Amino acid sequence: MEVQVMVDRESTGLPRLVRGSVVTHRRRCGKPNCRCADGEALHETTALSYSEGGRSRLLRLPADQVAAVRAATERYRERRQRLEADGQAGIQTLVARFGAGSGR
């Protein structure tokens, strides 16, 4: 039985679903002669921001993987929204079946 449904093997080998969001930070490195010193050509680092055990964490991403990871976070969000909608519909089905007139 195939169990590797969560991995997109055809392209990048990255997971299909990733919880979190991709964030970009821009900063100066502090070297006076660097291109970033004028405050315009700042250094960018892109990371996956996610929470684990109640703490927020950052995982730096290679530049060429950012788009794929962002797409995986969007797939996760869409699937979670669908799951929540299905669960909500389940509540409404139960309320319709058991709720009316059986409140106490």
- Residues at the contact surface with Zn ion, assessed by CB under 5 A: 29, 34, 36
Q: Provide, rounded to whole angstroms, the least separation between the CB of residue 45 and Zn ion.
A: 12
Q: Provide, rounded to whole angstroms, the least separation between the CB of residue 61 and Zn ion.
A: 19
Residues β-bridged to residue 51: 56
Please report, for residues 30, 50, 90, the alpha-carbon distance to residue 47 in angstroms, rounded to integers and kept in the order given: 21, 9, 36
User: What's the CA gap between 69 and 16, in Å, rounded?
Assistant: 9
Q: Provide, rounded to whole angstroms, the least separation between the CB of residue 9 and Zn ion.
A: 38
